[in-house]
Structure 1
Amino acid sequence: MRILILLTLAAGALAGLQTWRIGGLTDEADQAQRFIGTLSAGIESRDNAIHRLNNEAVTRERQEQSLRTQLSQAGQRARDREYKIQRLLNENQEMRDWYSARLPDGIGRMHARPAFASAADYLRWLSGGDELPDTGKFTRH
């Protein structure tokens, strides 16, 4: 009978020990789940940052291509303008004399470039070829 009581107590102690170990393992599993959740959130955040950076890189590439195109167009306009000036100078002596003459100070100030907000504004101004107003006509100033 004593052996039966000792075996029952030993079985109860063993069951209690196993219950305690299972409780500890459950806590460890909960901690592991929380850790996995934290890591998953970090990975998701990293993936979002990578996606955003890739989108920004694509946008910058498009902007760079646009700027390169504008630069190429500006260069072509400048070359066209120089060719036109050279052609006009080669056509007649009167034009060469006029071109080589120094402008009066007042006219030189009128040719000063205005401030530009962007490169596109400068290109429009440069390629516009606006002529000076006729000094024989009255203006509305």
Structure 2
Amino acid sequence: MRVLILLLLAACALAGLQTWRIDGLHDEAEEAQRIIGTLSAGIESRDNVINRLNNDAVTRERQEQSLRAQLSQAGQRARVREYTIQRLLNENQEMRDWYSASMPDGISRMHARPAFASAADYLHWLSGGNQLPDTGKLTGH
């Protein structure tokens, strides 16, 4: 009978030990599930950022293509305008005379100003009420 009691006590102790180990494993499994959830959320967040950055890159590429097309069109219009001006100058003596004439003195002085190191220097120069310098130079049109 003593042996039977000892075997029962040993079986109860073993069952208790197994229950304790199962609880520990259950806690570890829950912790692993929390870690998996956190990592999954991090991966999803990273994927969202990657998708947003890819979309931004595609949008910027389209904008760049649009700007390049606009620049090309502007360059073409500038060439046409320059060609038209040159053609008019070649055809019309009055236009050539006007184009090569010097600007009035006041306008020439407006085109000339000293070099400024900063915006404060420019504001100081403006508030000084200085006369515009007389360049005496012909300005290129």
Superposed pair shares fold, TM > 0.5: yes
| Counterpart check, 1:5 vs 2:44 | no
Residues 12-23 of structure 1 aligned to structure 2 (within 5 Å)? 12-23=12-23
For residues 96-132 of structure 1, the C-alpha deviation after alignment (integer angstroms, 9 at most, x for no partner) is 22221123246779xxxxxxxxxxxxxxxxxxxxxxx
Name the SS of the counterpart of 1:103 in structure 2. Answer: coil
1:93 aligns with 2:90: no
Q: Which residue identity does 2:87 align to in structure 1?
A: R
Q: Distance in 1 between matches of 2:60 and 2:71?
A: 16
Task: Tell me if 1:57 matches 2:57.
Answer: yes
Q: In structure 1, what is the Cα distance between the partners aligned to 2:106 and 2:63?
A: 40
TM-score normalised over the length of structure 2? 0.71
Q: TM-score, normalised by structure 1?
A: 0.71
What SS is found at the alignment partner of 1:61? helix
* Structure-1 residue corresponding to 2:102: 102
Question: Residue 76 of structure 1 aligns with which residue?
Answer: 76
Q: CA deviation at 1:95?
A: 2.4
Give the root-mean-square deviation of aligned CA atoms: 2.0
Give the Cα–Cα distance (whole angstroms) in 2 for the partners of residues 36 and 69 of structure 1: 49
Structure 1 segments (4+ residues) deviating >4 Å: 105-109
Name 1:129's counterpart in structure 2.
Answer: none
Q: Match of 2:45? A: 45
Per the alignment, residue 130 of structure 1 pairs with: none
**1:20 Cα deviation after fit:** 0.5
Stretches of structure 2 lacking an aligned partner (at least 5 in a row): 110-141
1:39-72 deviation line (CA, Å, top 9, x unaligned): 0110111011111111111111111111111111
1:73 is displaced (CA, Å) by 1.1
- The percentage of counterpart residues that share the same residue type is 84
- Aligned partner of residue 102 in structure 2, secondary structure: coil
- Aligned residue pair count: 111
State the distance in 2 between where 1:102 and 1:67 align: 37
Structure 2 CA distance for partners of 1:105 and 1:80, relative to 1, 3 Å: farther
Distance in structure 2 (CA, Å) of the matches to 1:105 and 1:64: 44
Q: Which range moves more in the overlay, 84-93 or 23-32?
A: 84-93
